[in-house]
Chain A
């Protein structure tokens, strides 16, 4: 089945140690998104790629970076994780002009120790 896959499901990292989360998709969608969701809050958009064009939200901290080497893969890099970056990170994809809209991965739950 076509899907959005996030690895790993759970990630523990040390304070200040760079960490990378990955997302892959078999849907051939041209848009990929990264969301951060903290406990009891709605998902918050960090950035998205429209094909190779990177679009950063104005309030996304510089500590967060992203790479999209090809259509299928997208990475979220946190350069120096702080305790406040502990959250669920959700990847989503969509194809502009198609239905039904977004498809989400299962998420990666990041713990910072």
Chain B
């Protein structure tokens, strides 16, 4: 399967700070999603972004498919942003499986 590595593994931010999370993948992909897992375990879809750049409020994401990485930007972080952020990738020629990255655990302190 595809190897998906995320960095950093852990991140602690002061409320109001900005951050960049990175996702590297080992092979070309057809789909990529960013998820936020809240403390109750719910996985919330943030972005569906196989390529290009998207923005949603304080969050934005960029995927450079040719260089096999994606970035998630969080600006003006809030305590509610705490949780684990996962990227997941899919290759259609290997079946309909999404492979999850290792995750970044974010803690935002007031």
- Contact B102–A109 (Cβ < 8 Å): no
Q: Does A75 contact B (CB under 8 A)?
A: no
The segment from A15-23, A63-71, A78-86, A95-103 found at the interface with B is: A95-103
**How many chain A residues have a CB neighbour from B under 8 Å?**
26
Q: Which chain A residues border B103 with CB–CB below 8 Å?
A: 42
- Contact B96–A96 (Cβ < 8 Å): yes
- Contact B33–A100 (Cβ < 8 Å): yes
- Contact A48–B88 (Cβ < 8 Å): no
Q: Does A88 contact B (CB under 8 A)?
A: yes
- Contact A102–B95 (Cβ < 8 Å): no
- From B31, B35, B96, B99, A50 is in contact (CB under 8 Å) with B96
Most buried by B among A50, A100, A101: A101
- Contact A107–B96 (Cβ < 8 Å): no
Interface bin, chain B: 20 to 34
- Contact B100–A42 (Cβ < 8 Å): yes
Distance from A45 Cβ to chain B, minimum over Cβ atoms (Å):
6
- Contact B100–A90 (Cβ < 8 Å): no
Q: Does A94 contact B (CB under 8 A)?
A: yes
- From A31, A37, A101, A107, B33 is in contact (CB under 8 Å) with A101
Residue interface bits A28-45, CB-to-B below 8 A is 1, else 0: 000101000100101111
User: With A and B bound together, what is the CA distance between A104 and B33 in angstroms?
Assistant: 12
Residue interface bits B67-104, CB-to-A below 8 A is 1, else 0: 00000000000000000001010100001111111110
Q: Does A55 contact B (CB under 8 A)?
A: yes
From residue 3 to 29 of chain B, which have CB atoms closer than 8 A to chain A? none
- Contact A101–B90 (Cβ < 8 Å): yes
Instruction: Considering the complex, give the chain A residue whose CB is closest to the CB of B96.
Output: A31
Q: Does B41 contact A (CB under 8 A)?
A: yes
A residues with a Cβ closer than 8 A to B are 31, 33, 37, 40, 42-45, 48, 50, 55, 57, 88, 90, 92, 94, 96, 99-104, 106-107, 109
Query: Which 9 pairs, one residue from A and one from B, show the smallest C-beta to C-beta distance?
Result: A100-B48, A42-B100, A104-B43, A107-B41, A101-B48, A101-B33, A31-B96, A43-B100, A106-B42
